[in-house]
Amino acid sequence: MGCVLIYITSCSQFKQNEMSITKESELIGMKRVSEVVGTTLKLMREYAKVGMSTKELDEYGGEILRSYGAKSAPYETYDFPGYACISVNEEVAHGIPSENKILKEGDLINIDVSAELNGYWSDNGGSFVLGKDIHNHQPLVDASKNILKKAIMNIKGGVKIADIGQIIETEAKKSGFKVIKNLAGHGVGRSLHEEPENILNYRVKTNRERFKKNTTVAIETFISTKSTVAVELNDGWTLVGNKGGFVTQHEQTILITDKDPMILTESNRIWN
């Protein structure tokens, strides 16, 4: 539940001003919850097997969160019907875990884990291919991961948000892909969605907003083979592309500094 869906107001009604890390206890709080969601994502990815339902995978993730005393953010914030969003193949985001959705060899899977612990919130996600890459999804997965890393390593206090969007779209085009334009990264810290809520995957010339030092944000890529807009299905949650195809998402929560950002969710090992 990392992304802000730009044309849906339900996400932004929970939005608060960005959280600024002003004391050590706040940094410790953000590090703890970020390690929890990162570890949960990593373990869920490793647990996923052919023949397993997405419901079973989700229940496993829920157990991990509970073992740390953490609460699922989408469940707590939006009453989402699952602990994590698990999107499979053509689903872009917000996929509902289901007993009827059985994982198959070569599936493109996205897991998005966000949670609250001791009043702090963090968010991360990653796409991967289950088993053998029989449908050739790996180039899309790799592009998403590499673009996220390049975008994040260009973020520091004072950098324009629009400039990071330009990096993401430019790199996507270089790889032969597109970006989803109505999903965005966002501030995170004292709630799931905070300002800035428009960390888009492309450049908006009119957006003069800049990243602020000592704030925490969730940066995420939405790299696509065909579509440029995510549309909601009748279940009220699941997003798919407007022109079909496939989309990969990778997301890290970071602390912005005046040098390289601190990757708070690095325990997910999505770059390893």
How confident is the model over 164-202, as pLDDT tens digits?
999 999 999 999 999 999 999 999 999 999 999 999 999
Per-residue pLDDT, 19: 82
Taking only the tens place, the pLDDT of each residue in 27-54 is 999 999 999 999 999 999 999 999 999 9
Residue 94 assigned as binding residue? yes
Residue 135 assigned as binding residue? no
Residue 55 is assigned to a structural domain of this protein: yes
Residue 91 assigned as binding residue? no
Query: How many domains would you assign to the chain?
Result: 1
Residue 123 assigned as binding residue? yes
Which CATH number is 170's domain given? 3.90.230.10
Ramachandran sector of residue 94 (left: φ over 0; alpha: ψ -120 to 50; beta: rest): left
CB atoms within 10 A of CB 14: 12
Residue 141 is assigned to a structural domain of this protein: yes
What pTM value is reported for the model?
0.95
Residue 250 assigned as binding residue? no
Residue 209 assigned as binding residue? no
Ramachandran sector of residue 214 (left: φ over 0; alpha: ψ -120 to 50; beta: rest): left
Residue 152: partners with Cβ closer than 8 Å, 6 or more residues away? 219, 252, 254, 261, 263
Ramachandran sector of residue 70 (left: φ over 0; alpha: ψ -120 to 50; beta: rest): beta
Residue 14 is assigned to a structural domain of this protein: no
Residue 260 assigned as binding residue? no
Distances (CA, A) of 126 to 108, 110, 186: 11, 6, 16
Residue 19 is assigned to a structural domain of this protein: no
Residue 9: which pLDDT band, with cuts at 50, 70 and 90? very low
Place of tokens 């407007």: 242
**What's the average model confidence in pLDDT over 56-83?**
97
Provide the residue range defining the domain that includes 140: 24-268
